[in-house]
Chain A
Amino acid sequence: MLRFFLIRLAAAIPPLLGMSFVAFAIVALAPGDPVMMELRAMGIVPEPEDIAALQAQFGLDKPFLPRYFDWLMRAVRFDFGTSVATGRSVMSEIAIHLPATLALAVSALVGAVVISLALGAFAVAGNRVTGVGLRGLTILLVSVPSFWLALLLIHVFVLNLGWTRLVGDGSLPDLVLPALTLSLGAGAGLGRVVYERVRAEKSEDHVRLAIAKGLDPLRIMLTHIAPRILGPLATAWANTFGALLGGAVIVESIFGWPGLGQLILQAIAQRDFPVIQAYLVFMGLIFFATSLIADIIVILADPQLRRRLGHE
């Protein structure tokens, strides 16, 4: 198992390096000079020497590749420099905003898992009409853009029912609506996966034998089907978690949730290069970590894989 873990970590280095290059390049090559934008926003009439000094301060006076390698050497030590916009270190910015985003994404994932299991179970257990209805609901929830769903939920739960407030202070009750917004669409998509996997497993010989023996359906589900579908579901959850992190950008903006989404939107508008680059790297690392966890769950859930890795 340890060997697998180390190999997996080593295999991640090339893609992470590639990702760091892409993160650096797309930001560095994007139109918009952060120095000039900052100066104009401040209402400053710059002298050429002021511009040159600022460009040197942000390392923009060097060619692209040396800049990348300088940045990479610092990035591996988690030193992403200072935010052009706020003057705080980029790691401070990330530390301020990452917990809120992780809280939102994890809550949304938990909600999505619950919704998906419920939808999947209903679809499997229900009749044809129920199945068609749930399929329609799934298509609807997957198709609705998150910003529109957010506005709809706000209209119903905030403006009409008054059950919650729109712009909270980051406390737990304020998490409910943004997490629900994200989890509805994600849960519907995962529900389809649950349904398909359960259907596939139900046609396997060992499940048919269990049914023929007259075992309790709940027991069949928990002991015969659930262990077999846990691996594929874990992979789907890991992918969904990544998508939720991305989707959180818009939802955070609408609900004023103080997470990375707010940070990155403002950083893009202000061409805050160090923040954008660090954000992209962190997102890549989180994707890598979640997919690694999913792989481990797959191994733990599959006795054959467990045995094979044990022998190796």
Chain B
Amino acid sequence: MPNIRLAVHLATAALVALPLALAPARAETSLTVAIKRDRYSVADDNFTFTTRRPAAQIVETAVRPDANFLPSPLLFETWDYADGAYTITLRQGVTFSDGTPFDADSAIAALRLYDQGKSDFLQIDQDSFVRLGDHAIGFRSEKGSALVIENMTHRATSLFGPSDDRAANPVGTGPYLLHSYDPKQQLTVVRNPDYWGDAPSVDRLTFRFIGDDNARLMALQNGEIDVIGEVTPQMLLSMPQDGSVVLHESRPIRYVALMTNIHGEAPFDILQDRQVREALAWAVDRETLASVLYAGHGVPAKGVLPGWMFNLGDDHTDGFGFDPAKAGEMLDAAGWTMGGNGVREKDGRKLGLRLVAAYPNVSTVKPMPEMLEQMFAAVGVEIDLVEVDDSGVYGSTYLDTGEADLFLEFASNNNTDPTYLLNNIFTTGTPWGGYRFFAPGPHVDALLSQAREAQTRDAVIDLVRRAHRAIVQDDLVAIPILMVPNFALSRPGIEVPMSEYEDWIDYGRVTFAQ
């Protein structure tokens, strides 16, 4: 009898242990990502918490950008557009983290919630929502725009489920759930076990806010963090070359360009002459700049939009090589003859230009301003170099007043709307004030206006190509210099799925080497 009891106990123990033995042994994976600053807002009308880089893991957008920055399905499965009206088929089998199904009703509620914020660049007519089925909706664009879906690739348009307090309890459909948030310190998300899509490879993601560049790099070397998500050029310069830090890069996305003031008043009126602008373009040695800056990962630019983006292609602009002799000839032809002190003159006026470096700050382009100063001096142009490390000073003191000739900018078209950058920077009606000094004029205004109203994507892209060529080639209001990738740094053994969009780097899907 005792033997039977023992056998029963052993059998019971074996049955209990069986599932544990069969379960695959899997340690929790975690990843700590250092980013520069906590830039999240919890205000209802400016809600960037959980929707902006890189913590945009909790809520998802309707569509996501594909490799060419074209919208591809995410929560919206298909969409049709005609005459300002959109018809959408929603993805089925998706639930918000609180269990609410993602269907026509919750999708419309989420889109309406989005419209309460300040960032209403979707411009959906709020009275136009119609429920076409359990998983089908329709709406109209306020402006008759064909680009509403393109703009939905922006993380700020992420769709929230119902919640009394989005900051404390953000309800989304994303692969992660908010675990904790210590402002200015760190934010942690954990894997959503009920996520509708493929499970991410990382169970726990922690984003540490570390403002100092050197500290971020040293923390990586010390094994306290795994990845640096926002990499500055200075970090590339001081990156150890012993293999302890691995560089990851996207395709080139950010442009470095010299914006030229073509509407300035004296003494900032010299660049109204296109010949002088073109001479400057030929005087820039892009290959040398590319080899010195951004750890040699930048490439000479032919425009401010990369050719791969939106399938724009590379052949609609010609670009400029490095030809100081040609630059000199063009300046001669423009009447600027070499003076005795190596600076060109015309009618007793020196060829002196004020160059303001840079947007967003001079640290992002160092030492390019000094190198450009030397290159321009070599063709007889004297540069009054103004370096500012604050975008507020750059904007208010120089850009808005037009009190400079050249403005060095390091930026990108951070939107999948193909007209976004060109329309905001190079039109006379620019919403950004000072950029009116770079606007070529009515012909570019018309091209971009037509592009924003065009009803097919092909028509949009064709008009954008023409406007882009006018800006960087024919009218030459922006002298392209470099195209620079988006960078991340990691410890060895981690592969980061890079994206040109900082917001779209999928840290939950990094791969770990065995």
Seen from chain A, the residues whose Cβ lies within 8 Å of a Cβ on chain B are 30-33, 36-47, 50, 54, 82, 85-88, 93, 96-97, 151, 154-155, 158-159, 162, 165-167, 169-170, 253-256, 258, 262-263, 265-266, 269-271
Contacts and interface: CB of A to CB of B under 8 A. Distances in A.
B224 interface: yes
Given A31-B392, A256-B215, A43 B118 contact: no
Interface residues of B, number: 51
Contacts of B420: 43, 45
B392 A254 contact: no
Residue in B41, B209, B432 whose Cβ sees the most chain A Cβ within 10 Å:
B41
Contact of B431 (A42, A45, A82): A45
B46 A87 contact: yes
14 contacts: A31-B397, A33-B395, A36-B432, A45-B424, A158-B218, A158-B222, A166-B224, A167-B224, A255-B215, A256-B208, A266-B37, A266-B39, A266-B184, A270-B39
A165 B224 contact: yes
Interface string B42-55: 11101110000000
A254 B214 contact: yes
Given A43-B119, A169-B182, 16 more contacts: A31-B395, A38-B46, A42-B46, A44-B121, A45-B420, A45-B424, A82-B43, A93-B183, A96-B183, A162-B222, A166-B215, A170-B182, A262-B184, A266-B37, A266-B211, A269-B390
B40 interface: yes
Contacts of B156: 42-43
Residue in B46, B47, B214 whose Cβ sees the most chain A Cβ within 10 Å:
B46
B218 A86 contact: no
Contact of B414 (A43, A88, A255): A43
A88 B42 contact: yes
B118 A54 contact: yes
Contacts of A169: 182, 185-186
Given A37-B392, A87-B42, A266-B184, A154 B218 contact: yes
B162 interface: no
Nearest to B214: A151
B275 interface: no
Residue in A38, A42, A162 whose Cβ sees the most chain B Cβ within 10 Å:
A42
A254 B215 CA distance: 6
B396 interface: yes
Contacts of B42: 86-88
Nearest to A257: B185
Given A86-B42, A169-B185, A253 B395 contact: no
Nearest to A31: B396
B214 A36 contact: no
A159 B222 contact: yes
A22 B221 CA distance: 43
A167 B219 contact: yes
A100 to B, nearest CB: 9
A254 B420 CA distance: 36
B433 interface: yes
A32 B212 CA distance: 23
A155 B219 CA distance: 11
Contact of B184 (A37, A39, A40, A97): A97
Contacts of B374: none
B393 interface: yes
B105 interface: no
Interface in B239-297: none
A184 B479 CA distance: 50
Contact of A50 (B37, B44, B118): B118
Nearest to B154: A43
Contacts of A31: 390, 392-393, 395-397
A50 B224 CA distance: 43
Interface in B163-206: 182-186
B225 A167 contact: yes
Given A262-B184, A266-B184, A159 B391 contact: no
A154 to B, nearest CB: 6
Given A45-B431, A158-B222, A30 B392 contact: yes
Contact of B212 (A33, A47, A254, A258): A254
A63 B5 CA distance: 91
Contact of A87 (B43, B121, B154, B211): B43
A54 B222 CA distance: 44
Contact of A167 (B183, B208, B393, B396): B208
Nearest to A45: B431
A271 B392 contact: yes
Residue in B41, B156, B184, B218 whose Cβ sees the most chain A Cβ within 10 Å:
B184
Contacts of A258: 182-185
A33 B340 CA distance: 44
A305 B236 CA distance: 61
B211 A256 contact: yes
B415 interface: yes
Given A50-B118, A167-B208, A263 B184 contact: yes
A165 to B, nearest CB: 6
A32 B390 contact: yes
Interface string B357-380: 000000000000000000000000
A37 B391 contact: yes
A36 B435 CA distance: 13
Contacts of B390: 31-32, 269
Contacts of B118: 39, 42, 44, 50, 54
A249 to B, nearest CB: 10
Contacts of A270: 39
A159 B223 CA distance: 10
B38 interface: yes
B444 interface: no
A32 B219 contact: no
B39 to A, nearest CB: 7
